A and B are shown apart, each in its own frame.
Chain A
Amino acid sequence: MSYLDYQVAQVPTGFRKILYINWPLVLLITAVCCIGFLMLYSVAGGRMDTWAEPQMIRFAVGMVIMLGLAFVPMWFWRGISVAAYVVCFLMLVAVDLFGVIGMGAQRWIDIGPIRIQPSELMKIAVVLLLAAYYDWLPLNRVSRPLWVIVPVLVILAPTALVLMQPDLGTSIMLIAGGGIVMFAAGVSLWYFGAVIGAAVGLVVAVMRSRGTDWQLLRDYQFRRIDTFLDPTSDPLGAGYNIIQSQIALGSGGLSGRGFMQGTQSRLNFLPEKHTDFIFTVLSEEFGFIGASSLLVLYMLILGFCLYSALSNRDRFASLITIGISATFFLYFSINMATVMGLLPAKGSPLPLVSYGGTSLMILMLGFGLVQSAHVHRPR
């Protein structure tokens, strides 16, 4: 069913749309963000103006954007999906050509006062374009090889550009996000099996190549893998952050050390405690209860998104909602797994909680689309 088929008359119009917004989702997002403000206040040593206040302002702006997007009709998004993808792609090329050097890799472009990170926008754009593609494609062709190649190229082209920046983390997110939309659209499971099999084979080949003539990684890259597998092997180098982060997490116990009482974060043992490692602060100060509460809130957000997606008869809207919520899921599970030492260290923010504008804005933009899909669903 495409937007031409909407029974437009039955879709709410004007300000009546406000009644059809997915309000539980809005409440949940606000709750998670509030946890974020609390933690930012705590890690700043009880100061609002360091991190909490700027973050609140961003949240307010993000909220307005999300609600604003909710009013935009769903068919508009489908109409601009190709254009959005092309624009993001060109911006990525521009970043590679004359981007600002930041954090050792080229990721941003400055347009006036706004700093845009096209690789983040691309995560949404890929979901948008793939959803539109599968909406357009007749169901019986979804698993035909030729029609599988197109979305694979749509995913890999920007991934290659992002890899050149180089930003391995975002590349993986792009592939996973796009892959999930393909999965939801019903692409045969054999394809996914083959890709996962190939990936496992590659990892095995890389690890087996160590010390031989055809070694596939440099020695220091292997050492980084060693550090991940056993952080204590390099306690003062790369393993230090993970060890300290685990100490902070574990020492929280059941109910935590109390608000603003975390010693690990107070004493500066934790790096980047206001961004990538903020989950450890939460776990240290509020313990298992606090950490699992956040996890429950995240699961509820995923649940409401899934319910919205499955109850929506518009294929495009369903795929968008699943794609965005999956991206959100990847965000928080990668971050948590990293600070627990289940994944190799790599910088990634905890969604809606970590300090930082880009990831918050992108998420609010995404949830705006989810809301739009919810408001304009066929009735």
Chain B
Amino acid sequence: MKKSQREIMDSTRQITRRGLMLAGIQVATVTTLALKMRSMQLDHAEEYRTLADGNSIKIRLLPPSRGLILDRNGIIIAGNEQNYRVTLTREEAGGDVQAVLRRLSQLVPMTEARMAELMEEFSRRSAITPIVLADRLSWEQFSAIAVNAPSLPGVTPESALSRAYPRAGDFAHVMGYVGPVSDYDLSRIEDPDPVLLLPDFQLGKIGVEGRMEEILRGKAGARRVEVNSQGREMRQLSRQQGEQGATLQLTLDAALQNYAAQRMGTESAAAVVTDCQTGELLSICSSPSFDPNKFVRGISSPEYRALMDHDHRPLADKTVQGVYPPGSTFKMVTLMAGLEAGVIDAGTRFYCPGHTELGGRRFHCWRRGGHGTVDAIKSLEESCDVYYYELAQRVGIDRIAIMARKLGLGQRHDLPMSAVAEGIAPDREWKMARHGQAWQIGDSLNASIGQGFVLASPLQLAVMTARIASGREVRPQLIRSIDGVRQAVPEYAPLDISAASLRVARLGMDAVMNSARGTARGARITREDWRMAGKTGTSQVRNITVAERARGVISNDQLPWARRDHALFVAYAPYDAPKYAISLVVEHGGGGSAVAAPIARDILLFALNGGLPPLDAVPSDQRAALEERHNAMHLYKPEAPRPGRSRA
């Protein structure tokens, strides 16, 4: 195809026109670049020259102060304290970092190993990041360094804020702790905030500190300062204020938490107290505990070993991470499953001869002689196992599992804490998926009394109790307000359980505490307006062989600690207008009624009274012992509420 002369002319004219337009755009662009260059290199050259000369202007990052964490009454449970320290910036040290370190070691004792460690760190970090040489200095050391600053180029004495937990161990598990940013932490964060690269910046590691890191951290500020050739600050040119982290107020009550920790003492135990109506957690306490301040300051390795090797596992958070067979505290679940399914009613009776025979196996009731004729209320009151064996065969595991989930078991509750356990509310499908085996009827019998595959955390048991007490789908809450903004308490829907079934369960729990034959009568509250309803549980951690049963079951006192039964107890009060629910587990404590119930009762009384339990609320024969116990406790003095903070 040959192009006509005319086409060629048109094309050439077209291209010329457009080519010149392009050239215009290019000239405009290059002119812009040239003007910018002129402005920088001719008009502002002096400023840039000053910046470049002797590197005399430095930018220093101002780490934000971490947000406070308060209890529901405004008492500080995680705060910040002054920490005097010295840092060194390689870029400002004038080349010989080693020499500067040697001179410094005359003022602050420093081992060779520590020096080598620091040198290694200097080579790893960029020249402009200050590295902490020593911290928690005394005022004398600090001022000695400040006086000698001219001979220590690049060394900056500074006071920084460091995390402190004034309530020591009380909140260790809920709160978690902060620690220096590790390479692993950085690798997990997309586009890390530059402030994280500052050495010894404290990052929330676990617990609330870890989960609420984003809002607690705040925003860094920056300072432009002029320094002399020794790296000493001459004057501050500008300062850009950072933002302090948000103040976080929890629903917890520090006084109650303190009392719960003291009341549990040295037992390996966990207590959860929740508001029955709002789901707010008032106490969530795992015992024994540890001092999180040691983790912030750097724990020594023997101390760490001691915590790791302790058989009561102080580092574990038993309240939300620990799962236990709930034992007889699970019986309300089985009972209501049966009532809801219509296979029994409140008046249905079963006969308890002390055991049930099933497929050649004997399932024992805790009372060898049996309970005789048992109805629904009595089954809880006396905690008859055979009643539940009979019931389990009629109602089936799947309906029990559905009821368990309705009450908050077998599910992970959403709390800003680490490793919240899911627990297990087993059914046929679960066993097939998990163990690849079909469900056996014997499994149902075990599950009906909270043994076998059933596992629940103290948190879940507290939620279960609150749900039974309030009849609503209460969910646990831990955050009360953020920067003074109250978090909305959700409107909970009524449980999908009939009022009649709930009533039977509540009557049964009341009978446990207050009737003449109730298993936990000894731990009752004697003040009628605080009347308590509860349920004991004792969960076996070992198998009792036929031979042992023939000889007579060995009592818990004679067993080694780690093989004793777990003692459990759940309760709520006041019976007529439920306010607080509690769950308590004492690991290897023995019997639920003897060990767990009195502790739970006292903690619940503290919550109800808003202070030490009044002695007239416990049976008269226990008053002297309780008073003595109170005298031996180390409780924090009540703090005056801080002005401007919301009061519960």
**A residues neighboring B (CB under 8 Å):** 1-2, 4-5, 138-139, 180, 183-186, 220, 223, 232-237, 246-254, 263-264, 267-268, 283-284, 287-288, 291-292, 295, 298-299, 302, 306, 309-310, 313, 315, 318-319, 322, 326, 329, 333, 336-337, 340, 342
Let me know if B149 is at the binding interface, CB within 8 A: no
With contact pairs A288-B37, A292-B34, A306-B23 given, residues A251 and B48 touching in the complex (Cβ less than 8 Å): yes
**Inter-subunit contact A251/B51 (CB<8 Å):** yes
Residue pairs across A and B with Cβ atoms less than 8 A apart, 11 shown, are: A2-B3, A250-B45, A251-B48, A251-B51, A299-B30, A302-B23, A315-B8, A315-B12, A326-B26, A333-B26, A340-B33
**Inter-subunit contact A5/B37 (CB<8 Å):** no
Chain A hits for B44, CB < 8 A: 250
Cβ of B51 to closest chain A Cβ, rounded Å: 5
CA distance A220 to B194 in the complex (A): 12
With contact pairs A248-B52, A253-B45, A254-B41 given, residues A235 and B18 touching in the complex (Cβ less than 8 Å): no
Let me know if B229 is at the binding interface, CB within 8 A: no
**Inter-subunit contact B41/A186 (CB<8 Å):** no
CA distance A309 to B11 in the complex (A): 12
Chain B interface residue count, CB cutoff 8 Å, equals 50
Cβ of A243 to closest chain B Cβ, rounded Å: 8
**Inter-subunit contact A236/B15 (CB<8 Å):** no
Residue of B nearest to A318 (CB): B15
Among B53-61, B394-402, B599-607, the stretch in contact with A = B53-61
Let me know if B111 is at the binding interface, CB within 8 A: no
Let me know if B557 is at the binding interface, CB within 8 A: no
**Inter-subunit contact B48/A246 (CB<8 Å):** yes
**Inter-subunit contact B22/A287 (CB<8 Å):** no
Interface residues of B in 1-52 (CB under 8 A from A): 1-3, 7-8, 10-12, 14-16, 18-23, 26-27, 29-30, 32-34, 36-38, 40-42, 44-45, 47-49, 51-52
With contact pairs A5-B2, A322-B22 given, residues A249 and B42 touching in the complex (Cβ less than 8 Å): no
CA distance A4 to B1 in the complex (A): 8
Cβ of B253 to closest chain A Cβ, rounded Å: 35
Residue of A nearest to B5 (CB): A1
Residue of B nearest to A237 (CB): B194
CA distance A60 to B315 in the complex (A): 68
CA distance A249 to B59 in the complex (A): 19
Residue of A nearest to B6 (CB): A139
**Inter-subunit contact B3/A249 (CB<8 Å):** no
Let me know if B190 is at the binding interface, CB within 8 A: yes
The A-B contact count (CB < 8 A) is 146
Chain B hits for A247, CB < 8 A: 48, 51-52
**Inter-subunit contact A319/B15 (CB<8 Å):** yes
CA distance A124 to B67 in the complex (A): 56
Let me know if B191 is at the binding interface, CB within 8 A: yes
Chain B hits for A2, CB < 8 A: 1, 3
Cβ of A178 to closest chain B Cβ, rounded Å: 14
> When the two chains form the complex, which single residue of A4, A267, A298, A313 contacts B12, counting CB atoms closer than 8 Å?
A313
**Inter-subunit contact A220/B191 (CB<8 Å):** yes
**Inter-subunit contact A251/B15 (CB<8 Å):** no
**Inter-subunit contact B190/A329 (CB<8 Å):** no
Chain A hits for B61, CB < 8 A: 235-236
How does the 8 Å CB contact mask read for B188-210 relative to A, with 1 for contact and 0 for none?
00110010010000000000000
**Inter-subunit contact A4/B2 (CB<8 Å):** yes
Chain B hits for A337, CB < 8 A: 33
The 8 closest A-B pairs by CB, nearest first: A250-B48, A220-B191, A237-B194, A251-B52, A253-B45, A288-B41, A250-B40, A251-B48
Chain B hits for A268, CB < 8 A: 127
**Inter-subunit contact A251/B49 (CB<8 Å):** yes
Chain A hits for B541, CB < 8 A: none
**Inter-subunit contact A326/B22 (CB<8 Å):** yes
Residue of A nearest to B21 (CB): A183
Let me know if B307 is at the binding interface, CB within 8 A: no
CA distance A298 to B18 in the complex (A): 20
CA distance A248 to B22 in the complex (A): 32
**Inter-subunit contact B41/A295 (CB<8 Å):** no
**Inter-subunit contact B7/A139 (CB<8 Å):** yes
Let me know if B222 is at the binding interface, CB within 8 A: yes
CA distance A62 to B221 in the complex (A): 50
Chain A hits for B47, CB < 8 A: 250
CA distance A246 to B29 in the complex (A): 19
Cβ of B47 to closest chain A Cβ, rounded Å: 7
Cβ of B243 to closest chain A Cβ, rounded Å: 13
**Inter-subunit contact A249/B40 (CB<8 Å):** yes
CA distance A250 to B33 in the complex (A): 13
**Inter-subunit contact A252/B3 (CB<8 Å):** no
Task: Among B22, B26, B52, B61, find the residue whose CB has the most chain A CB atoms closer than 10 A.
Answer: B52
CA distance A299 to B38 in the complex (A): 17
Cβ of B344 to closest chain A Cβ, rounded Å: 51
Task: Among B22, B34, B127, B197, find the residue whose CB has the most chain A CB atoms closer than 10 A.
Answer: B22
Task: Among B20, B41, B44, B45, find the residue whose CB has the most chain A CB atoms closer than 10 A.
Answer: B41
How does the 8 Å CB contact mask read for B208-233 relative to A, with 1 for contact and 0 for none?
00000000000000100000000000
**Inter-subunit contact B15/A309 (CB<8 Å):** yes
Interface residues of B in 448-504 (CB under 8 A from A): none
Chain A hits for B32, CB < 8 A: 342
CA distance A58 to B98 in the complex (A): 43
Chain B hits for A139, CB < 8 A: 7, 10-11, 14
**Inter-subunit contact A252/B45 (CB<8 Å):** yes
CA distance A322 to B45 in the complex (A): 37
**Inter-subunit contact B15/A315 (CB<8 Å):** yes
**Inter-subunit contact A220/B190 (CB<8 Å):** yes
